[in-house]
C-alpha cells in the first residue's frame, strides 16, 4: 500500500528467485502512488484487493501455483539462498511451516536489542509475526483456513492455528526489515505500543478496534 519508494528495491532483490522458477505475486491494497506500475515489470502477477494485510495475503495465496508459500512485506529483504534454506530445513526437521530471524535495518544500538527480543519471543512462544517472513506449505495453509479476515494480528492468529500442527521451523538466517516504524515513532514507545496491542488482543479486544488504535498512533 503506497510503497513506491521501496517496492522496486524489494522486487529487484527477488529476480534471481524468479530466474530459477519461483513465482512472485504482488498484491496491492489500493495504492494512490506508482506502486502498481513499478511492480509490474518485476512480478509474475500484480493484483489489487481491498486494503488489509490478511485479505491481500490470502488473495495472493489463492492464485499462487507453488507448493510452498512465503509472505513477504514490501519493506523486507530475504537472505541469500532463502528458498533453499526453507526447502532443506522443512525436509530436515519434518516441519510444514516456519520463519527467519529478523534483522532491523537501522544502526542504532537499541535496534539490536529490539531484534533480539523479537527473535527470542518468537522462539519461546512459537508465535510468528509478519516481519519474520512466514513460510508454510500451501496445503497446510488451506487446511487451517488461511489468514483470518481480521484487520490486525492476522499473523498471530495464523500462528496459533499452525501450532496445532507443530511448532515452526526457526531459520537463523536473517531477513532484513525496515526499522522505519521504530525510528519514526520512537523505539521504546513503539515497543510499548505493540505490547499493549498484543495484550489487548489476547484479552479479547476486537481486531477492528485494535487496527484503529494502530493507525491512530502511526503504523508506518
For the segment 99-113, the average pLDDT, to the nearest whole number, is 94
Three cell numbers, residue 19: 530466474
- In the CATH scheme, what architecture does the domain 52-216 have? Alpha-Beta Complex (3.90)
On whether the CB atoms of residues 128 and 118 are closer than 8 A, the answer is: no
pLDDT attached to residue 185: 74
Mean pLDDT of the chain: 91
User: Confidence band (pLDDT; 50, 70, 90) for 166?
Assistant: very high
> Both ends of the chain: CA-CA distance in Å?
11
For the chain, give the number of residues. 220
Indicate if the pLDDT at residue 207 is higher than 80: no
| More confident site: 133 or 182 | 133
Indicate if the pLDDT at residue 188 is higher than 50: yes
pLDDT attached to residue 220: 44
Alpha-carbon 109 to chain mean position: 24
Q: Which residues pair with 26 in a beta bridge?
A: 46
For the segment 169-183, the average pLDDT, to the nearest whole number, is 92
Q: Give per-residue pLDDT as tens, 9-58.
A: 999 999 999 999 999 999 999 999 999 999 999 999 999 999 999 999 99
Q: Give per-residue pLDDT as tens, 58-104.
A: 999 999 999 999 999 999 999 999 999 999 999 999 999 999 999 99
Per cent of the chain over pLDDT 90 is 77
Coil, helix or strand at residue 188: helix
Q: Which residues, including other chains, have CB under 8 Å from residue 16's CB and lie 6 or more apart?
A: none
Per cent of the chain over pLDDT 70 is 93
Q: Give per-residue pLDDT as tens, 211-220.
A: 666 665 554 4
Three cell numbers, residue 211: 487496527
pLDDT attached to residue 211: 66
pLDDT attached to residue 206: 73
On whether the CB atoms of residues 183 and 110 are closer than 8 A, the answer is: no
Amino acid at each position: 500500500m503506497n510503497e513506491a519508494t521501496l517496492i522496486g528495491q524489494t522486487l529487484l532483490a527477488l529476480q534471481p528467485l524468479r530466474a530459477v522458477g519461483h513465482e512472485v505475486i504482488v498484491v496491492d491494497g489500493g495504492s494512490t502512488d506508482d506502486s502498481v506500475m513499478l511492480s509490474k515489470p518485476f512480478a509474475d502477477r500484480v493484483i489489487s484487493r481491498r486494503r488489509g494485510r490478511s485479505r491481500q495475503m490470502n488473495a495472493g495465496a489463492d492464485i499462487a501455483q507453488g507448493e510452498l508459500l512465503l509472505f513477504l512485506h514490501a519493506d523486507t529483504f530475504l537472505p541469500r539462498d532463502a528458498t533453499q534454506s526453507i526447502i532443506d530445513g522443512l525436509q530436515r526437521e519434518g516441519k510444514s511451516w516456519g520463519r527467519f530471524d529478523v534483522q532491523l535495518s537501522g544502526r542504532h544500538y537499541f535496534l539490536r536489542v529490539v531484534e533480539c527480543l523479537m527473535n527470542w519471543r518468537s522462539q519461546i512462544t512459537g508465535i510468528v509475526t509478519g516481519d519474520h517472513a512466514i513460510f508454510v506449505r500451501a496445503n497446510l495453509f488451506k487446511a487451517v483456513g488461511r489468514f483470518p479476515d481480521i484487520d490486525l494480528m492476522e499473523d498471530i492468529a495464523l500462528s496459533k492455528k499452525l501450532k496445532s500442527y507443530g511448532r515452526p521451523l526457526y531459520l537463523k538466517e536473517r531477513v532484513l526489515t525496515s526499522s522505519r516504524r521504530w525510528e519514526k515513532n520512537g523505539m521504546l514507545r513503539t515497543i510499548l505500543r505493540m505490547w499493549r496491542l498484543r495484550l489487548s488482543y489476547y484479552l479479547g479486544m476486537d481486531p477492528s478496534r485494535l487496527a484503529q488504535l494502530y493507525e491512530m498512533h502511526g503504523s508506518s
